[in-house]
């Protein structure tokens, strides 16, 4: 695994343990070249999923992008990180078990909103309000940047 800090490919695993109720293996890694430490997760991938955007473009499904958008909408919400991990794994499992490898981006957004609505209303509203403006734009990175809350302070909960 390549070191994300210096690019060295010879990194060492220091510790491996089950995570997310044994749905993943978490590995702590160490880079002897720069001393950097980072974590990787190993997960079952049942299918190679492809996202079909509304403009017809195809893109490999990227769990990290999905996770980023969900974490941003969850920012500063009183929800345990473990619970967010479980929700994300649940969404991915649902997508993988749909029986199709091609997934409509709109359908993915709806599944995410459904899951968020069950866990945290504020996060759901954040996600949904951006999502509604986003359906035409269909650029996930843009979507994530719009989701990022403005710099104004939020009340502590
Ligand atoms: Zn390094």
Q: Which residues contact 19 (CB under 8 A, 6 or more apart)?
A: 25, 26, 41, 85
**Confidence bin at 155 (pLDDT 50/70/90):** low
For the chain, give every domain's residue range. Answer: 10-44, 46-135
Ion ligand 1 neighbours, Cβ < 5 Å = 3, 5-6, 8, 31, 33-34, 36
pTM above 0.85, yes or no: no
Distance 40 CA to ligand 1 centre (A): 14
**Confidence bin at 115 (pLDDT 50/70/90):** very high
Residue 34 has pLDDT above 90, yes or no: yes
Distance 37 CA to ligand 1 centre (A): 8
Residue 35 has pLDDT above 90, yes or no: yes
**Confidence bin at 97 (pLDDT 50/70/90):** confident
């Amino acid at each position: 695994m390549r070191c994300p800090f210096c690019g060295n490919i010879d990194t060492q695993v220091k510790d491996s343990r089950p995570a997310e109720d044994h749905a993943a293996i978490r590995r702590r890694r160490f880079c002897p070249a720069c001393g950097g430490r980072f974590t990787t997760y190993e997960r079952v991938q049942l299918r190679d999923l492809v996202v079909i955007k509304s403009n017809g473009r195809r893109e490999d499904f990227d769990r990290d992008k999905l996770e980023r958008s969900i974490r941003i909408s969850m920012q500063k919400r009183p929800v345990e990180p473990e619970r967010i991990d479980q929700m994300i794994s649940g969404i991915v499992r649902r997508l993988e078990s749909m029986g199709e490898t091609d997934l409509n981006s709109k359908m993915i957004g709806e599944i995410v909103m459904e899951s968020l609505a069950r866990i945290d209303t504020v996060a759901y509203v954040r996600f949904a309000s951006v999502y509604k403006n986003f359906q035409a734009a269909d650029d996930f990175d843009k979507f994530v940047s719009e989701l990022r809350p403005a710099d104004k302070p939020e009340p502590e909960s």
